[in-house]
Amino acid sequence: MAVTRLFRSSPAAAPLAGTIAAPGDKSISHRALMFGALAVGETRITGLLTGEDVLRTAAAMRALGAEVAQDPDGTWQVAGRGIGGLVEPDDVLDMGNSGTAARLLCGILASHPIFAVMTGDASLRRRPMRRVTEPLTACGAVFTTREGGRLPLTVQGAVYPISLEYRVPVPSAQVKSACLLCGLNAPGITRIEEPEATRDHTENMLRHFGATIAVEKAGRGRIIELSGQPELSAADVAVPGDPSSAAFLVAAALLVPGSCLTIPAVGLNPTRCGLFLTLDEMGANVVVENRRIEGGEPVGDLIVTHGPLRGVDVPWERAPFMIDEYPVLAVIAAFANGTTRMRGLKELRVKESDRVAATAALLAANGARVDVEGDDLIVHGTGGPPQGGGMVTTHMDHRIAMAALVLGAATQQPVTVDDASLIDTSFPRFVELMNRAGGALAPA
């Protein structure tokens, strides 16, 4: 279901109930397609997210020579080219709204001796790429970007790539992953040090496809060493439900009185569970059942029940484990009893929007008390629903749009967003599923 731009969420008339599956994990979906394209043989992917962001990655892998197709039953098949086997694309690679796809693809292209041009939509063209292009030039690649290191960019991949040794200055799974993907086609050992541990889907998938990788703890961070030029072998991937998308369903169930939702097969990778830890501290009733391992990733079923919440202090070091969930956490905090302070959100300022400012404006427009102090976001909850009734400017940011629509399901008056069209980039059928559970979302 395509979502129109101007959209409104009205207070739910009844509790939310039932079983609602979150879409496939976006981070893992991107990586499954990329690794399938770099492997020898045919990789079978189930549960792949079919949002616009991931479809852009699928198109890019086709343009680079892999065969990528979806079967009638929803399974995806990727016939890979092998490490070093990608071909030069005939046209510009348009990555749409996906910063993850753009940055990881820079890593792949950097160590392949091909020329490529990459662009994205208006939002992505505002986002900085220098954080990946600068370390990747050390392998021998040449990048040319717009002023400020922004898209569109060109890359001439290295003919004789050199393995990287790089310390990531600011915790970033995207930068780390781009450097590791570059190291796949470089001889020798690529060594990446991260000062704070970040999501490790790339490391898990490298092992899953047969690469030799060693990970050593170093204080709060890790040192990752990858042996270059392996022969990756095709490997089936079962993509779990995306915890960042499940967060919106969790929030709706927590906030609408009387609600109880079951969200099956959600990914529970420890590097992605910062929100669930925070919700536990807030007293949220979120129970995990049927814990298991699928495709190398921990998975479980969430049972979420409405109940009272309390404000908490969220430490800055938790940010890498919940970086995409802060807008919806701020919405939850507006209903809690007491103040919630979310610390150290500098990374949120360079997402699809300045999410610190956009989230604060979202709440303020709907009667919640909110402050911004430096890179801290502070929400003063009253223990009850905010007034609502506001218009939210989404800044072409799908997570701001969804956070606002979840807010409107439990406020006193409806909440309207100026543009809900980008929700499909990460959560296809969001509106349909929310309404099936009992929500009241509709074009304004």
Where in the sequence numbering do the catalytic residues fall? Answer: 324
Distance CA 314, CA 343 (A): 6
Phi, psi of 242 (to 5 degrees): -75, 120
| DSSP state string for 275-332 | HHHHHHHTT-EEEEEEEEEETTEEEEEEEEE----B--EE-GGGGGGSTTTHHHHHHH
Token readout for 174 is 């995207």
Distance CA 136, CA 35 (A): 19
Cα angle 6-430-68, degrees, rounded to a multiple of 5: 110
Distance CA 297, CA 303 (A): 20
Distance CA 139, CA 162 (A): 4
Taking the CA atoms of 326, 331, 335 and 340 in sequence, report the sign of the dihedral they define.
positive
- Alpha-carbon distances of 243 from 265, 324, 372, 385, rounded to whole Å: 10, 10, 26, 25
Distance CA 162, CA 179 (A): 11
Cα atoms found within 13 Å of the Cα of residue 374, Cβ hemisphere only: 6
380: exposed, middle or buried (Cβ count in 10 Å: 0-12, 13-18, 19+): middle
Contact 46, 75 (CB under 8 A): yes
